[in-house]
Amino acid sequence: MHVLRRIEGDEAHFLTITFWESYESIRRFAGQEVEKARYYPEDRDFLLEFEEQVEHYEVVWSEP
Protein backbone atom coordinates (compact mmCIF):
# COMPACT_ATOMS: atom_id res chain seq x y z
CA MET A 1 0.00 0.00 0.00
CA HIS A 2 1.08 3.58 -0.64
CA VAL A 3 -0.42 6.68 0.96
CA LEU A 4 0.35 9.97 -0.79
CA ARG A 5 -0.27 13.39 0.75
CA ARG A 6 -0.67 16.83 -0.83
CA ILE A 7 -0.96 19.94 1.34
CA GLU A 8 -3.28 22.61 -0.06
CA GLY A 9 -3.58 25.63 2.22
CA ASP A 10 -4.76 24.37 5.60
CA GLU A 11 -6.02 21.03 4.20
CA ALA A 12 -4.21 17.78 3.55
CA HIS A 13 -5.41 15.58 0.69
CA PHE A 14 -4.53 11.88 0.74
CA LEU A 15 -4.44 9.32 -2.04
CA THR A 16 -4.29 5.66 -1.01
CA ILE A 17 -2.97 3.18 -3.55
CA THR A 18 -3.41 -0.51 -2.84
CA PHE A 19 -2.30 -3.49 -4.89
CA TRP A 20 -4.56 -6.49 -5.30
CA GLU A 21 -3.81 -9.96 -6.60
CA SER A 22 -6.73 -9.91 -9.05
CA TYR A 23 -10.09 -8.33 -9.82
CA GLU A 24 -11.65 -11.37 -8.16
CA SER A 25 -9.89 -10.53 -4.90
CA ILE A 26 -11.29 -6.99 -5.16
CA ARG A 27 -14.79 -8.45 -5.71
CA ARG A 28 -14.43 -10.65 -2.63
CA PHE A 29 -13.70 -7.52 -0.58
CA ALA A 30 -16.00 -4.97 -2.24
CA GLY A 31 -18.82 -7.08 -3.69
CA GLN A 32 -20.03 -6.86 -7.28
CA GLU A 33 -19.94 -3.03 -7.32
CA VAL A 34 -16.14 -2.81 -7.32
CA GLU A 35 -16.20 0.90 -8.19
CA LYS A 36 -18.23 1.80 -5.08
CA ALA A 37 -16.02 3.07 -2.24
CA ARG A 38 -16.07 1.03 0.97
CA TYR A 39 -15.29 2.56 4.36
CA TYR A 40 -14.66 1.26 7.85
CA PRO A 41 -16.64 2.74 10.81
CA GLU A 42 -13.46 4.27 12.28
CA ASP A 43 -12.88 6.23 9.05
CA ARG A 44 -15.40 8.80 10.35
CA ASP A 45 -12.81 9.75 12.99
CA PHE A 46 -10.24 10.72 10.34
CA LEU A 47 -11.90 11.69 7.06
CA LEU A 48 -13.68 14.94 6.23
CA GLU A 49 -15.04 13.76 2.88
CA PHE A 50 -16.10 10.38 1.58
CA GLU A 51 -15.63 9.72 -2.11
CA GLU A 52 -18.42 7.62 -3.60
CA GLN A 53 -16.34 5.92 -6.27
CA VAL A 54 -12.88 4.40 -6.59
CA GLU A 55 -10.76 3.95 -9.69
CA HIS A 56 -9.00 0.75 -10.69
CA TYR A 57 -5.86 0.55 -12.77
CA GLU A 58 -3.79 -2.37 -14.02
CA VAL A 59 -0.06 -2.40 -13.40
CA VAL A 60 1.43 -2.78 -16.87
CA TRP A 61 5.02 -2.17 -15.89
CA SER A 62 6.90 -1.85 -12.62
CA GLU A 63 10.52 -1.40 -11.70
CA PRO A 64 11.90 -2.35 -8.28
pLDDT at position 61 over 90? yes
Phi, then psi, of 22 in degrees rounded to 5: -165, 170
| CB crowding 46-63: b at 16 or more within 10 Å, else e | eeeeeeeeeeeeeeeeee
Residues 10-19 pLDDT 10s: 999 999 999 9
Band of residue 33 on the pLDDT scale cut at 50, 70, 90: very high
pLDDT at position 35 over 90? yes
Share above pLDDT 90 across residues of the chain, in percent, rounded to a whole number: 94
pTM, rounded to two decimals: 0.78
Mean pLDDT of 32-59: 94
